[in-house]
Structure 1
Amino acid sequence: MLQLKTAGFKALDNLRKKELFPPQWQNMEELEQVSDSVLSQFLDERFRVSQELGGGFLISALIDKALRTRDNELMDDRNLPVSEKLKLVRALDRQNAMMQLYPRYVDLLIPFIREISETKKREVRVLELASGAGGLTLALAEAVRQKKLHASVTGSDIVPAYIEAGNTRAAELGVPASFRYLDAFDLTSAGKGAFDLVVISQSLHHFTPGQLAVMIALASENAATAFVGIDGYRSLLLACGVPFVAAMQGIASFTLDGLTSARKFYTELELDMIAEIASGKKVQRVSCSWPLSVMTVRF
């Protein structure tokens, strides 16, 4: 219901006819600005088209409009004590394990690792951005070890406590994983060509369209083979279901974050537009693997 595909495609076609999409940009600052601007114009145009279509199209648009929020999750509050941040990311890690999401993510990523390995004929270097508690990095590294794949996995974040906890756990498990401090908006410290596959999971909605576009463009500049973004599928069911499942942890702040997150999930078409703006061409694929949206951008 909240994907609004019919109105969305009509709205995008209108932007193309007006030569507003895809926009041109020269640097990362401009990329962020034009991405935010164009996606805002798209949402306005989509609502206008929904009004023209009327009926169920307008009802869906009104529900979507009521649900959308620009509020940030508590775990993204830079002033939140580290102990609270750890409590929230560990709660998310437990939820993912309970819902068996990590195996789903791993199944989506292993084919990329195999493909790159066969093409490059060397160790495949995987980078996860905003890795948080490190659950996916560790799960992927464990799969790499079990399948005897020639690959290493690096988790990254801007919270030092996450890095320390991740490295401790990786050593305990003996998996080919490491964690390092790395800003997703500044990959220069990683070095050109440092990684083959850049991944971000369950965090796309934490960033604005412009920030996501910058991430994709930076991944391309650093010679990655592909950028894979995994997040929740925008739907009314998940808007209700995510906070309900989060409430099972018995942590009020985590439940609130679950509600905020579900309201911020991007539609498939929005992710597709962001990727096209960042790359300047059609090299992306966005699909639904319920309850997930999966965005793949090839370089």
Structure 2
Amino acid sequence: MGNLNVSVISNPEFLREGKAVYDFLNPDRIVVGIDENDNKEKIKKEIYKIYEYFLKKQIPIIFTNLETAELSKYSSNAFLSVKISFINEMAMLSEKTGANIEDVSKIMGFDHRIGNEFLNAGLGFGGSCFPKDTLAILNIGKNNDCEMSIVNSTVKFNDDLKDILIKKIKNKLGSVKGKTISILGLSFKPETDDIRESPAIKIIKKLMNVGAKIKVYCPRGMEKTKKELENYSDCIKYCKNEYECAKNSDCLILTTEWEQFKNMDLEKIKNVMKSNYFFDFRNMFSDNENIRNYFHYYPIGRN
């Protein structure tokens, strides 16, 4: 067998779960990392052939070294994670001061230097990418004796946020021990069954650990949650829809912003509940003028 001349490149993807096909066909940029010792011009010609379709669409192709290509992927996700934690921290401050976090987000978003994406207050980030990539940044920093204080604070606040919200629930209900709490949404975001690092799952575990009885419903995340929480099977009931989930519950918590939930019959939900506490941790109903006619309603970042 003869000697093989193989080049290794880094071509990171920047795809959103649930929208990967669209993102693949409509990239903001294409990044290619090339080893410093390789024949760069030859590799560039091959890359241009592969991405000819995108060149015609005038999508920029950025050539760099391997380290930069890899770090650009981690940096992009870490920055978006910082943005999410920042707006959630501002949401907690808004609740204390009487500000409206949704108006704060809107005002910030009009600034072209900031932009309006990833400024929706909620439960924090989850899924397979942001948690993994922020921890990767911290590990790279540690291995290179570089303190990543901003990313470290982002990860910490994202974890602490769940306890802050549990405390909010306890304060309003008096206690959650023995209470039946209904959870709407299990996947870390809508349009997927992915529950990896899902904020909803973390909220559920924390509530069960302090004695709450849990009912859950999610359009797609049920089966994976059953496997994830199989050791909690005595404390959790899986329901066939949002109305069964809400039945005889003391408290309803919306944790994932599925479109299906936006269209649910609020009066029907209220009528089947034992008590009418509703924690909207995605602010799906914050602009609904009738919501407070049915519930003791608590969104994120609004007094």
Q: Which band: TM-score by shorter chain? A: 0.3 to 0.5
Higher relative contact order (CA 8 A, sep 6+): 1
- Structure having the higher helix fraction is 1
